[in-house]
Amino acid sequence: MSLTDQIFITMCKDILENGTSSEGQLVRPKWADGTMAHTIKKFGVVNRYDLAKEFPILTLRRTNFEKAIDEVLWIWQKKSNNIHDLGSRIWDNWADEDGSIGKAYGYQLGIKHQYPEGMFDQVDRVLYDLKHNPYSRRIITNIYVHGDLSEMNLYPCAYSMTFNVTGNKLNGILNQRSNDVLAANNWNVVQYAVLMHMLAQVSDLEVGELLHVIADAHIYDRHVKHVEDLMNREPFEAPIFRMNPDIKNFYDFKVEDFELIDYKRGKQIKGIEIAI
């Protein structure tokens, strides 16, 4: 069993056994049929992944590795807020007629600010500091900008990264206000694990730990049976992660520069409803 499978099963078991239901409360998300999408939640979940030991992708079922990378490149590399720059349709429900999701995600990372060393957007500031001041305790990104929330079609879920270099290892903390455990938990972990590998390579660092801090980790009522199915499956060993070693510029990475070798996984779950 991979460490990631163990973490996922432990988290789900804790939510289902010790979590709090939103039944009877007025909640924002709804199912396609218009009924309220209730959850069982745990507050303050922290999962730790040692990226030097294994790549943190579930084997209990398939996580779409290529699409997850495409989205993280859309946000962090293209700094886009338009779904026409994205290779999947996961943002379609939040895009306007022009394809924009408003002043969210990549839009915020691309805004330039003045620093003593010059003008940088948030991504370029991280790249600069990892090269020139790696032991700084101020290497942070934040896309939850209150002044722009009214112009975002969806408030950011994964909203902040804190990077910390210890020795020669790059560590990171991903802060997330809300996480749909079945639909998005491992998707986000895979994305930010890849991002950590990218940043480490172009900064001549080794990859270290990724901490995933979730304020509201929840399982939707119509997802419980799917989660219970996953928890009872036979897991596999983690696959081997490979990344093009020749790339030294963060903006040169493409989806095809990443691969998983020997990715064994359980069958995909069909019929998962997504609350919006």
Q: Which residues are catalytic?
A: 157
Please report where in the chains the tokens 């590399």 appear, as a residue.
Answer: 77
Round to whole Å and give the CA distance between 231 and 236.
13
Round to whole Å and give the CA distance between 180 and 134.
33
The CA distances from residue 127 to 131, 147, 193, in Å, are 6, 26, 16
User: 24 — alpha (psi -120 to 50), left (phi > 0) or beta?
Assistant: left
Round to whole Å and give the CA distance between 132 and 112.
19
Q: Residues annotated in the binding site, as ranges?
A: 64, 137-138, 177-180, 188, 218-220, 275
User: 11 — alpha (psi -120 to 50), left (phi > 0) or beta?
Assistant: alpha
Angle at 213 between CA 208 and CA 218, to 5 degrees: 135
Q: Residues annotated in the binding site for dUMP, as ranges?
A: 137-138, 177-180, 188, 218-220
